[in-house]
Amino acid sequence: MMEIAKARTLSERELTDELASARRHLYDLRFQLATRQLTDYSQIAQTRRDIARLLTVQTERGLGEQRPRAADTRPRSPEGTR
């Protein structure tokens, strides 16, 4: 299981390698599922979450370098209106 804090400490290259590894692991798990060799089905969901964490870190880094955060650029609406 990849913790988000650990993912944030990885370099760009390590992050890319870890993402490729997780995607390959998910592929292998799906293959095991199709051939009825998989016994621990929770590994699929866990691996998908790990991939999502890694993609989140990549997105954070990519957006942080290119432009200010979207929440900072939106105009504020008056209180009580939508």
d(CA 15, CA 11): 6
d(CA 46, CA 49): 5
d(CA 33, CA 41): 8
Q: Note the pLDDT tens digit of each residue in 1-42.
A: 779 999 999 999 999 999 999 999 999 999 999 999 999 999
Is residue 71 within 8 Å of 63, Cβ to Cβ? no
Q: Note the pLDDT tens digit of each residue in 31-63.
A: 999 999 999 999 999 999 999 999 999 999 987
Is residue 18 within 8 Å of 54, Cβ to Cβ? yes
Q: CB-based contacts of 4: which residues, under 8 Å, 6+ apart?
A: 53, 56, 57
pLDDT for the residue 39: 95
Pick the CATH number of 4-64 from 3.40.140.10, 1.10.1740.10, 1.10.287.310, 1.10.10.10: 1.10.287.310
pLDDT for the residue 1: 78
Name the pLDDT band for 82 (thresholds 50, 70, 90). Answer: low
